[in-house]
Amino acid sequence: MLKNFFSGAARSDSGAIEHEEFAHAVDSGRVLVVDVREPHEFATGRISGAVNAPMSRFDARDLPSSKPVVLICQAGGRSLKALNQARAVGRDDVRHYPAGMNGWRACGGNIEV
């Protein structure tokens, strides 16, 4: 649940966040969504309030620390790679949404262009 998410993901878990938990976290404004898709992908539609940190230039040390972070990409592969990098630099307040933007759209999530 959200309480576990905001207390930090344990290093032994997958770091994944399920749709319902993610949607609630986005709606409540309690997380920062970091989209690791490339700028041309980000420009086609994104979650409102998301910031773009393209995987081609991604540096986990540059992730904001003001709120817990949820990483997203198109289908989950790049966000998992970014999550692993974040964990490697000691960030325990980062999760990833494995369904990606494909899953967000399929579940009816709001998209901003």
pLDDT tens sequence across 80-92? 999 999 999 999 9
CB 82 within 8 A of CB 1: no
User: Higher pLDDT residue, 96 or 8?
Assistant: 96
Torsion angle of alpha carbons 5, 63, 108, 48, nearest 10°?
120
How many CB atoms lie under 10 A from the CB of residue 40?
A: 8
Q: How many angstroms separate the Cα of 60 from the Cα of each of 9, 12, 27, 42, 104?
A: 16, 19, 24, 19, 23
Q: What is the per-residue pLDDT for 13? A: 75
Answer yes or no: is pLDDT of 6 > 70: no
The CATH code belonging to domain 2-106 is: 3.40.250.10
Its pTM stands at 0.90
Q: What is the per-residue pLDDT for 96? A: 97
Distance in angstroms (rounded) separating the CA atoms of residues 87 and 9: 10
CB 95 within 8 A of CB 16: yes
Q: What is the per-residue pLDDT for 14? A: 87
pLDDT tens sequence across 100-111? 999 999 999 999
10 pLDDT band, cuts 50/70/90, is very low
Three-state secondary-structure class, residue 34:
strand
Give the residue extent of every domain in the chain: 2-106
